Chain A
């Protein structure tokens, strides 16, 4: 009865394909009120006056909220008033909230709030932010409460600086025959999930706060509300139904806080706060921007010796998760290569842009764009095949990472094998630049990838299994079903362990923080690993209890028993058995005596032996394992007008073990398309005043059907020994190398270095013609 590896349909598929699936905004409650935001039209301005008098007297209006000095919120640095106070720091920041009986009334009243602003100088790029004379986005940085591994620099815009110091870079560069340096940059952008953010909050008479939200982090909602407002943790219940796309953007906590405040102002009545697309793009946290410089030194035969790197992550107006983003970028700052001498400063810097949430890949596609562009530049300088350069320097067991983790055959996959497979799939021997006509060329570009998940060192996950009277099992996990199918994979893991049919495992899709065991956050490709381990532990617990009960019925030692096919049987005589359903709720003897009770399996998992990073050198264990891979893109490029088509995109990823074949392939393809969309078209168009000019899907255009290339996905399987069935995380990895691979293919095709995203024809034209970018 093998389930692992099979393409099992997602448990929630019938609801989704029939449209019956429910998302946060689909829920209504009797007496529900509606909140509407007033958002800032300025990127940086002092709030001189807010006049709410007219709005307050509009029909149906129950409350009007404006900013308060305290409490401040924020995950790594508590720097953010939930509603702007004193000044606004980004275009789209909430400035006031109206609560009314109907959405129409709240919006109409919101339009009557008069706010006087005094514009302030705008910090518009990370490079500007670190200038000595830059205006300060936060004047009181030193007063904010901060998390561990957050090193702010007061009286600057530096929210966090992580330092990596490994070996002796000066010596490394001295010994290098060839040194190249490359600069890249791109602006913030958006996740553009189909479901815009929504929250319903309510405060009962007994003080219990009930939240329903489109979130990847219901347990973090609970923690942050509790910390910021002094609410007993047990009195906060957060529900998450299905989530309609998240990609990291729904692991930040923002709309829930505003909605809670709105309900509180309306006497605890249920309040719904539903972001429009514009608010979802501007107000809610988006995708981080980056300015980076990478300098590499190597021997004349291409052995990397030294790297010197500066990453300036665009933290926007508030830190929230950005100190974690620049740390994640630091720990994997070099790409998956063995380099003895590394110096990296990875910074989060405040600007007057919308602030970042995590984005699928958590700083890795961003950092890899910088690093892998430099690798191609180095290969060109060496006149060396870029794939060969990567193969030569590929990181393998026995090497150490930038934070000096010694790699072994479990904690890292097999990169050389991924590269070999990529070479075949891309028909590398055919050549990387092929002339098709007077105008057109076909070009190939590649990128290596790696990622560890730098989530909290003490993050944990729990699973509960309840046996039903018919012997089937209910599975409860705090993993939010955000579209990745993880809960189905958990069912497969349990089915495999219990040797039963996966259709007999019933998965609870909704999470509520009162009755569902905690899963830290549904982020970082950690669902299968952490919740999978918890599921295995719960299954073991269940098996132990089943054997214990069966041993009494069958009058044998539990050690002689096996579980499978919803029966417990003697190992050497399987006919001697008892059905799980007959012991699920205890066992009743023929005379009516009963023993036991409902069998409940429980299991949990906590990350082990991870450490904080040394503040001076970055040394430490940042994550449990590294998934590696190699990716490539084939383009056809028109040398006359600089337009191009992406013909093919290829991923070879060492996934450890394929648990659900189609689901894994789907995750990788979905991530690849997202990476190509980010690389090829998506960006916020931010003007010189810090205003985002395209917060709409008419003019901000993710990749659509008809624009996709052929996707080729292949897997290598090097098991991670401590993971369920050896599986490594794979939810994000398809995205990671796409921007670099696309830029590498186009740089080759165009014959010029392309170091900005998105790679639109106008940008290539500017690079080719040497026309400076006159920001329009």
Chain B
């Protein structure tokens, strides 16, 4: 049971959505955008989300876009993860997002919800970070395009009242060689201990991580180290590990020192696969 009352709104356009947000905010209702709802339900019953109004963005046509426009893949924020897996326009995304929760939950969890929620793994961000995608963001100042690096790399950086409408990715990225591996505390269910996604573009490896820190990230310096092909693999990994942002997660999924052990193995696995191709 969600132990408080809240209002539910279902706007049909971007403009109406933004306007609603500010009206409700003005009324002191601390509105939140609502997409799949899994996290809101999970956390609201524990008072970890408090809101007087939810604004459902699933009925905004732009948020449901799925397809290629010119040379760009357009993915709406309100698409469910299973919908994305089935359509499979971006195999690396399908692979990475298919590790989130379970099938039943992914029928509800949306791309935007996974990226913008409070549960900090946000694994669906990794492919977009690797593909230097653009985020389409709606807010009081209209619709803007911003680099995903500005929005999702490290902590989530959306201004008050802003919401994610779409992600735009160059078509060429969907055909590049990739690897995505999720390691859990144990077996096949649970949050990531570490999820690594990697992609090779023009002989350079790109790598992004979830589960090491309370945010997903991609690091230019770390990639630089990994791409020094003349250096032995083990040395490159040693150097890369030194580039990790501190502090690393140290929680019930795993200690920080164990995460580093797992990361070393994961990097070795990823590099072997990507450089062997």
Contacts and interface: CB of A to CB of B under 8 A. Distances in A.
Interface string A300-329: 000000000000000000000000000000
A693 B250 CA distance: 13
Given A680-B186, A681-B186, A698-B42, A765 B261 contact: yes
A583 B257 CA distance: 78
A771 B185 contact: no
A240 interface: no
Interface string B233-267: 00000000000000000111011011001100100
Question: Which of B4, B42, B250, B257 has its CB near the most chain A CB atoms (within 10 A)?
Answer: B257
B3 A762 contact: no
A139 interface: no
Given A701-B189, A760-B185, A107 B254 contact: no
B3 A108 contact: yes
B252 A685 contact: yes
Interface string B108-126: 0000000000000000000
B255 A707 contact: no
B190 interface: yes
Interface in A735-776: 758, 760-762, 765-766, 771, 774, 776
B220 to A, nearest CB: 27
B188 interface: yes
B265 A776 contact: no
B255 A680 contact: no
A236 to B, nearest CB: 30
A758 B190 CA distance: 15
Interface residues of B, number: 23
Contact of B186 (A104, A108, A640, A760): A760
A104 B1 contact: yes
B46 to A, nearest CB: 8
Interface string A678-710: 001100010000000110001101011011000
Given A698-B42, A701-B190, A762-B185, A107 B1 contact: yes
Contacts, number: 58
Contacts of B251: 776
A765 B265 CA distance: 13
A634 to B, nearest CB: 16
A640 B183 CA distance: 14
A693 B261 contact: no
A757 to B, nearest CB: 12
Interface in B166-192: 183, 185-191
A641 interface: yes
Interface string B78-90: 0000000000000
Contact of A704 (B185, B189, B261): B189
Given A104-B1, A107-B3, A762 B187 contact: no
A537 B235 CA distance: 77
B188 A706 contact: yes
Contacts of B4: 108
A694 B253 CA distance: 10
Given A698-B42, A762-B258, A707 B188 contact: yes
Nearest to A643: B183
Interface string A498-530: 000000000000000000000000000000000
A641 B255 contact: no
A108 B258 CA distance: 42
Nearest to B250: A776
Contact of A111 (B3, B186, B252): B3
A103 interface: yes
B255 A776 contact: yes
A570 to B, nearest CB: 62
B3 A640 contact: no
Contact of B265 (A111, A640, A771): A640
A107 B5 CA distance: 13
Interface string A96-119: 000000011001100100000000
A774 B255 CA distance: 8
Contacts of B185: 681, 760-762
Contacts of A694: 252
A752 to B, nearest CB: 16
Interface in B1-25: 1, 3-4
Contacts of A771: 257
B139 to A, nearest CB: 31
B256 to A, nearest CB: 8
A761 B266 CA distance: 14
B30 to A, nearest CB: 18
A693 B102 CA distance: 22
B6 to A, nearest CB: 13
Nearest to A693: B252
Interface in B200-223: none
Question: Which of B250, B254, B258, B262 has its CB near the most chain A CB atoms (within 10 A)?
Answer: B258
A225 B257 CA distance: 52
Contacts of A645: 187
A680 B187 contact: yes
Given A111-B3, A771-B257, A776-B251, A707 B262 contact: no
B254 A762 contact: yes
B142 to A, nearest CB: 38
A764 to B, nearest CB: 11
Nearest to B45: A276
Contacts of B262: 641
A371 to B, nearest CB: 25
Contacts of A643: 183
Contacts of B1: 103-104, 107
Given A680-B186, A760-B185, A104 B3 contact: yes
A502 B182 CA distance: 51
A104 to B, nearest CB: 7
28 contacts: A103-B1, A104-B3, A107-B3, A108-B3, A640-B265, A641-B183, A641-B261, A641-B265, A645-B187, A685-B252, A693-B252, A698-B42, A698-B191, A699-B190, A699-B191, A701-B186, A703-B187, A704-B188, A706-B189, A707-B187, A707-B188, A707-B189, A760-B186, A761-B186, A762-B185, A766-B258, A771-B257, A776-B251
The 7 closest A-B pairs by CB, nearest first: A685-B252, A641-B265, A762-B258, A107-B3, A760-B186, A681-B186, A707-B187
Interface of A: 103-104, 107-108, 111, 640-641, 643, 645, 680-681, 685, 693-694, 698-699, 701, 703-704, 706-707, 758, 760-762, 765-766, 771, 774, 776
Given A640-B265, A681-B185, 13 more contacts: A641-B183, A641-B262, A645-B187, A680-B187, A701-B186, A703-B187, A704-B102, A704-B188, A707-B188, A761-B186, A765-B258, A776-B250, A776-B251
